[in-house]
Amino acid sequence: MFELPVIDMQAQVPTDEWRLRVDLAACYRLVAHFGWDDLIYTHISARVPGSHHFLVNPFGLTFDEITASSLVKVDLDGRVLNDTPFSFNPAGFTIHSAIHEARDDARCVLHLHTNATIAVATQKAGLLPLSQFALFSLPSLGYHAYEGLAVNPDEKRRLQEDLGSNHHLLLRNHGALTVGPTVGDAFMRMYDLQRACEIQLLLLASKAETVPVSAAIVHGIAQQAGVVHSGTTGGCKNWPAMLRKAYRLDPGFAA
């Protein structure tokens, strides 16, 4: 049986970076718990406080193996900055470095390949206003055309342009991406987007006539969602509960 290397980063990094590592590792474990992971693929990154360096998953580990210490710290040029036996996924670096480079407010970037988000991203109409969950995403949603595996540096500019100032991005034929000022905010935005896509697929599969939400209400929800799903009443409010869940599932993520 292959044993993972034992790494202890807590004494080697500042306190604020360690707290971020714990939050990010918890997010990986929660994504696995909810069944949103994809073997060793997809990525969640978080920018290290006071720098443009960011933390990302060690390539080769499943999400339920990731710990705070095993996260890899890289700079925007792709240089690994901490002493680690792990590398990172080049496709993940292209996507995440593009967003961290362009958006100071996007301190956490969450990119997944769930069945539901791929299916809706591939539908020509994209996400429809069919549920309250969809309304949390629609006012701040962009689309990015599929260009193959994200290993071409030239794609970074188009990713930046397609995300713009939005917090949600559906990648055609590929999956979804959310960003936030904290790990909790990015997680909650993905939770809402995932639920919206699941509900849309259920409704369309039923072939029953649907009742879409009016454009006026969608516009109004944009302001309401800014209160409910950000700051102390959004991801930050929900995140401590999610963190407690991660500890209950397996406290080893915080090592």
Question: What digits encode the pLDDT tens for the residues 149-208?
Answer: 877 788 999 999 999 999 999 999 999 999 999 999 999 999 999 999 999 999 999 999
Assigned domain for 120 exists: yes
| Whole-prediction pTM | 0.91
Assigned domain for 95 exists: yes
CATH number where 84 lies: 3.40.225.10
Assigned domain for 252 exists: no
CB 12 within 8 A of CB 240: no
| Mean pLDDT, rounded, for 9-35 | 95
Assigned domain for 96 exists: yes
Assigned domain for 240 exists: yes
Q: Which domain holds residue 115?
A: 10-246
Question: What digits encode the pLDDT tens for the residues 111-130?
Answer: 999 999 999 999 999 999 99
Tell me, what's the pLDDT at 90? Answer: 74
Assigned domain for 54 exists: yes
Q: What is the DSSP secondary-structure string of 79-129?
A: -B-S--S----HHHHHHHHHHHHH-TT--EEEEE--HHHHHHHHSTT-S-S
Assigned domain for 3 exists: no
Tell me, what's the pLDDT at 80? Answer: 84
Distance CA 3, CA 235 (A): 35
What's the domain count of the chain? 1
Distance CA 94, CA 154 (A): 9
Element (DSSP H or E) covering residue 240: helix 235-249
Is the pLDDT assigned to residue 4 strictly greater than 80?
no
| Mean pLDDT, rounded, for 212-217 | 89
Question: What digits encode the pLDDT tens for the residues 47-94?
Answer: 999 999 999 999 889 999 999 999 999 998 888 888 777 777 777 788
